[in-house]
Structure 1
Amino acid sequence: MAGRLGVAPATLRTWDRRYGLGPSDHTTGRHRRYGPADIARLERMHRALLRGAAPAEAARYARSSTEDTDAPAEPPRRPAHRIGRGLRLPGASRRARGLGRALLAMDAPAAQAVLAEAIAEDGVAAAWDQLAGPVLAALAERELAPVSHLAAQCVRAALATAEVGAPLPAHDNPVLLFSADPAALPPRVLATALVQRGIPATVLLAAFPAEALAALARRLSPAAILFWAADPGQAEPRFFHRVKGRVPMFACGPGWAEAELPDRIRRAGTLAETAARLEASLG
């Protein structure tokens, strides 16, 4: 059931414990089975959360919709943010606004539900480019550290879930993904997108000297190397000069925008574009 909805099993247990939206049919042993009515309630709960409703409100809607034929056809929406004004998300999608509302309300289950649906429909990298990345940038603009921390946790949880059931690696050597920022999320997002494509990936998030990074790259013989930099202070062009051989190398992130790079270095675009380019070059 968790896979059908795109939520974590722990989320289903929480909905059962808090709101009574669990399976009703008993089988032998300790297991219970979801019946059609249970599934319908959970799907209504999920849709309401994706529209930004509070969990308790969504649960009331889910229960009333199966018990009252005159219940409203549209799931409820959250009427207001709980933490100050909303986020600046010009041209944002319904999902982005829903994710912003859930995070501002510190509602982790709702935020994870939005992320899971986006990943299931659009893929990990596109979900970052179009949804999580813009929302986290808007949170950083508001300087809401606790909300940003929760958002990062939700993204990491979504990535861990997305890697479950990934195909076995089709290559022996990994793609190396570097960043000087230990909290950087884009390299982790890209690694998950590659793993889903059967491409092994190793993420290293630390401000190591260029010489040390180049030595590691030589020792591991990676299939490709990508260096993520969120700002110019994290960009280290010397690293690319230290790496010898013909391994494909990519400079990714806004930090490289003004950096002078060797001709053989490829400037990467969005994470979705980069994942596709890496898959094509390694295929």
Structure 2
Amino acid sequence: MSEATHGVTTGAVARRLGVSPTTVRSWEQRYGIGPAVRASGRHRRWMPQDIALLEEMCRLTATGVPPGEAARVVLGQQPDTLREETPLPSAPEADEVSQGEGREPGSGNGLPLGDVRQECRGLARAAVRLDAPSMEALLQQVIDEHGLVAAWEEVMVPTLHAVGRKWESSDDRYVEVEHLLSWQVSTALRRAAVAKAPTAKRPPVVLACVPSEAHTLPLEALAAGLAERGLPVRMFGGAVPAEALDAAVRRSGPAVVVLWSQARSTASHALARHVAGTSFGLRGARTTPLVLLAGPGWAGPPPGDGLLRPGGLREALDVISTVYRDPVHATEV
């Protein structure tokens, strides 16, 4: 079905723009910015010219223009002198909403996104506007519709990387965008993990960043993915001291330990081998955990016995799921 011929739904428009469907409906009800065509006389179908008006609304409101005034400009009810009276591009993101990479429909407001899912562009738009409610709604929708792994790999990670690249290349601008986006992603992942946390008592998967490593989002994604598969998790977060990690492993008796390292400077193969050799359990039936070395910091020679290096979130989930199908590890405690 062609968008130019048949239009798109309100939900699809909202995802493209990175706003909530409620916002789109509110602009229509309050300011008359609505679709020219309604299927069967009732359902909204947004045509390209309608979407262009909404994109201009997003551009103006992102620069601080009140929605009512922005609507008057968009609908031509007030001369374009409003643009001259209102100091539009004062923030870096405002400049790039209206020029360069951010001009095309569905773009990420100037972020270097490339060829990505439409939901990714919508999330980028919402992030640049610091629109937390829209980010929250879009992230939840993506997880619900596509599952945790696809949401992480195809929407969250590309947007996070785009914001990071923009920050690095723009004299520390966009720092607030990255912080808010990271927080919203973390919130969505934790909510997903809690919503599907298993109740059966089985040896857990211990997740921890190595000492001096503070990047926890990939582990939070793994925690949510494990919960989605009904597997128990103990999340210890960032920069876990070696002594604390040793105590956590001995006290929890995990089937698997995942150690995250973002950079080679934080990866400690000696620590990983120590964890892999840690035994626990009753005398005569003691066991050791499988250790997964996750993250780019572990790149290099193949790991030793008891150590595996998964290639990404999906592979890590599959490896851990296989461990729990092994009756030796799946015995309830």
The TM tier, using the shorter chain, reads 0.7 to 0.9
Partner of 2:198: 168
The 1:211–1:162 alpha-carbon spacing in structure 2 relative to 1, beyond 3 Å, is closer
SS in 2 for 1:234: coil
- Counterpart in 1 of 2:138? 114
1:95–1:87 CA distance, 2 compared to 1 (3 A):
same
Match of 2:149 in 1: 125
Q: 1:273, CA displacement in angstroms?
A: 2.3
Q: Following TM superposition, by how much is the alpha carbon of 1:274 offset from its aligned partner in structure 2, in angstroms? A: 1.3
* Aligned counterpart, 1:24: none
**Which of the numbers 197, 202, 208 marks the counterpart of 2:229?**
197
Deviation at 1:115, TM superposition (A): 1.3
2-structure distance, mates of 1:206, 1:53:
30
Alignment partner for residue 252 of structure 2, among 190, 204, 220?
220
> What amino acid is aligned across from residue 141 of structure 1 in structure 2?
R
Partners of 2:121 and 2:25 lie apart in 1 by 17
1:73 is the counterpart of 2:46: yes
C-alpha distance in 1 between matches for 2:191 and 2:248: 29
Which structure: larger Rg?
Answer: 2
Q: 1:91 to 1:249 in 2, by over 3 A?
A: same
Q: Which moved more, 1:223-232 or 1:181-190?
A: 181-190
1:188 aligns with 2:188: no
- Counterpart-to-counterpart distance in 1, 2:239 and 2:46: 53
Q: What amino acid maps onto 2:55 in structure 1?
A: R
**1:170-193: CA deviation from partner (whole Å, max 9, x where unpaired):** 442210011143452111111111
Sequence identity (%): 28
1:259 to 1:157, Cα distance in 2 relative to 1, 3 A: same
SS at match of 2:111: coil
Instruction: Give a deviation string over 1:225-270, Cα, whole Å, max 9, x none.
Output: 0011111122121112212143111011111123663243111122
In angstroms, what is the RMSD of aligned CA positions?
3.0
Q: 1:261 to 1:209 in 2, by over 3 A?
A: farther
Query: Offset of 1:213 from its aligned partner?
Result: 1.8
Where do 1:46-61 residues align within 5 Å? Answer: 46-52=11-17, 54=19, 56-61=23-28
Give how far 1:54 is off. 4.8
Instruction: Specify the alignment match of 2:89 in structure 1.
Output: none
| Residue of 128, 134, 137 corresponding to 2:158 | 134
Between the aligned partners of 1:78 and 1:230, the Cα distance in structure 2 is: 37
Residue number among 262, 275, 282 corresponding to 2:317 in the alignment = 275
Of residues 66, 82, 90, the one that matches 2:114 is 90
User: Paired residue for 1:103, among 111, 118, 127?
Assistant: 127
Which amino acid is the alignment partner of residue 270 of structure 2? R
Structure 1 residue 151: Cα displacement = 0.6
Q: Deviations over 1:49-85 (max 9, x none)?
A: 2111655445324784699749653473534475143
CA separation of 1:78/1:161 partners in 2, compared to 1, >3 Å: closer, same or farther? farther
2:299 maps to a residue whose letter is A
Offset of residue 119 of structure 1 = 0.8
* Contact residue 18 and residue 135 of structure 2 kept, 8 A: no
Task: Tell me the distance in 2 between the aligned counterparts of 1:163 and 1:206.
Answer: 17
User: What residue identity is the alignment partner of 2:162?
Assistant: A
Cα contact 1:53–1:78 (8 A) shared by 2: no
User: Structure 1 residues 53 and 177, CA, compared in 2 at 3 Å: closer, same or farther?
Assistant: closer
CA contact (8 A) 2:10 2:46 kept: no
1:233-244 alignment runs, 5 A limit: 233-243=265-275, 244=277
* Partners of 2:209 and 2:215 within 8 A in 1: no
AA partner of residue 14 (structure 2): L
Rounded to whole Å, the distance in 2 between the matches of 1:250 and 1:152 is 24
Q: CA deviation at 1:212?
A: 3.9
Task: Name the TM-score, length of structure 1 as normaliser.
Answer: 0.74
Q: What runs of 5+ residues in structure 1 fail to find an aligned partner?
A: 1-43
- Asked if the contact 2:255–2:323 (Cα under 8 Å) also holds between the matched residues in 1, the reply is no
* Alignment deviations for residues 21-74 of structure 1 (CA, whole Å, 9 cap, x no partner): xxxxxxxxxxxxxxxxxxxxxxx6543321116554453247846997496534
State the aligned residue count.
Answer: 241
Q: How far, CA to CA, are the matches of 1:212 and 1:160 in structure 2?
A: 23
- Under a length normalisation based on structure 2, what TM-score does the superposition of the two structures give? 0.64
Tell me how far 1:101 sits from its aligned partner. 1.1
